[in-house]
A = this chain, B = another copy of it.
Amino acid sequence: MSKSIGVFDSGVGGLTVAGELIRQLPNENIIYFGDTARVPYGIRSQETIIRYSVDDALFLLKHDVKLICVACNTASSVALPVIRNHFKVPVVGVIIPGAKEAVYASRNKRIGVIGTRGTIKSRSYEKELKRLDPKVKVFAQACPLFVPFAEEGCLSGSEISSIAAKYLKPLKNAKVDTLILGCTHYPLLKPVIKKIMGNNVTLIDSARQVALEVKNILTSEGLLNGKHKAVYKFFVSDNPEWFSSLAHRFLGRQVMGVKVNV
């Protein structure tokens, strides 16, 4: 069988990226690993995020993947250089693709970034945006309650609206015209965020751009599959039932036969 694309995330959030890979690369097999025994990563120290991310990559390599997609903003922000240094396969994170799309989309060069504490503290988006266009002004905001709300399925209503309004106020005041959803959970909150930011602010969800980058790499390395029926395998480090129950919300399709790897 052809080698698979490996995707890892701290939990279920990375399924939004896996879903986009499935849409854009229908002939590719995917092995997904969600580290549900140690989720969330966004509240942990850089050392711990790196240690966990290396574990996750090693698990995927045991399954002989041909490319690793780090479908977690926190892990991409903090651990990507270490993973790239350690392993031979191509590694794609979510930061650079998201930053590229934001710079492309912004007219007034005022770009907002929202994410977990870990992602925002790392300033990874800011560094990448400035590298792509030194004239860009970046406004970053951690939104620590967004992940629990998304995982609880509280995607609308007065509570999340009010919390989102507080988090987003400084970005609205800064008149950003582009907002990076710097966490794989946040696309679920798009309607709430859109309502607050208004129709003139472009929301950047890096999944689409990540899938495009994966496609480019596989093409240029001659690793793209020909037409065949793709196989998807899902592994977690804990709670396969919980993962399965949330998976539909994130992936947009049913996930069956989730296996546990401790």
Contact = CB atoms under 8 A, between A and B. Distances in A.
Interface in A35-76: 36-39, 43-45, 47-48
A238 B145 contact: no
Nearest to A241: B45
Interface in A139-168: 144-145, 148-149, 152, 154, 158-159, 162-163
Contact of A144 (B152, B158, B159, B163): B152
A43 B242 contact: yes
How often does this chain occur in the complex, in copies? 2
A45 B239 contact: yes
Interface in A11-43: 36-39, 43
Given A148-B148, A159-B162, A163-B159, A239 B44 contact: yes
Contacts of A159: 159, 162-163
A76 B159 CA distance: 31
Interface of A: 36-39, 43-45, 47-48, 144-145, 148-149, 152, 154, 158-159, 162-163, 238-239, 242
14 contacts: A37-B44, A37-B48, A39-B43, A43-B239, A43-B242, A44-B238, A45-B238, A47-B238, A48-B238, A48-B239, A145-B154, A159-B159, A159-B162, A159-B163
